[in-house]
Amino acid sequence: MINRDREAATAAAVKRRGGNPGRWMARITVILSLMGTLSGCTPQIYNVNMRYEPTKVIPPAVTDAKKYSLTVAFFTDQRKLEDPLLIGKVITSSGTPVPILPRYVKPTEAVTAALREVLSKSGYAVTPIRPTWNLNETAILPEWGAILVGGTIDTLDVTCTETFMMRNQYKATVRVTLIFADVPKKRIFYRLVSESSSSLDHMFFSEERLESQINGVLSDAIEKAIEGPETARQIREALKP
């Protein structure tokens, strides 16, 4: 009896506002059905375009940086993953993990390209050579120029957790190790570790936010490694006669 009274009161209220109770209820049913359908259509995979996105203006590393010629080798991926293409996951509200993969390039290629671009923006002359280096001094080849830069990807991850509170929690982390070598002397002279992380809570989910988070921390980690005065000093010292 009480439910009937409530339904009658709701219908009367809608009618007073100039609406049609039957049509209004039908619309609500369609909307709820559509929402349920959309929530059940979770994709099997997400893709993001990994690339360098400047987080700041890069100052010149040294006034005469152009005379320092650097060759950048492809990074080595040291993450303990079955699939080296994996860069993160989206955890749905039901607890199901959905993998995130790069759209165009491998993680090693994306990190290498980011380092090349930051070095170039810092004023260094970056050679067009892109060797594969196992990070051992004995494997350095004379045709790789004066200074060789390689490194490892230690951590690279972006995760989004969907909650029941209509919030999406984004977290991204990148940690890389850079290794600098004197090519003629076949000697590693400098190592440094650089990392960056970020977090974001947002009501809506999108691949664009996943992309922004991972690219932001990747770019920041590479920038911090190169813009510090110690890196420029180590390169100058290595090239002294």
pLDDT at 56: 87
pLDDT, averaged across the chain: 85
Mean pLDDT score, 171-192? 97
Most confident stretch, 21-35, 60-74, 97-111: 97-111
pLDDT over 60 (residue 41): no
- Bridge partner residues of 98 (DSSP): 90
pLDDT at 65: 61
* Spatial separation of the C-alpha atoms in residues 65 and 70, rounded to whole Å: 10
Q: Which of 84, 132, 103, 115 is nearest to 45 (CA)?
A: 103
Chain centre to alpha carbon of residue 37: 30
Sequence spans of domains, the chain: 1-41, 45-238
* Spatial separation of the C-alpha atoms in residues 163 and 91, rounded to whole Å: 9
pLDDT over 80 (residue 241): no
Alpha helices, H only, the chain: 2-16, 21-39, 107-121, 207-227, 229-238
pTM of the model as a whole: 0.80
Q: Which residue has the tokens 């180590």?
A: 234
pLDDT over 60 (residue 57): yes
Mean pLDDT score, 85-108? 95
- Bridge partner residues of 178 (DSSP): 151, 192
pLDDT in tens, 75-90: 999 999 999 999 999 9
For 223, the token pair is: 């920038």
- CATH classification number, 45-238, choose in 3.90.650.10, 3.40.50.12280, 3.50.50.60, 3.40.50.10610: 3.40.50.10610
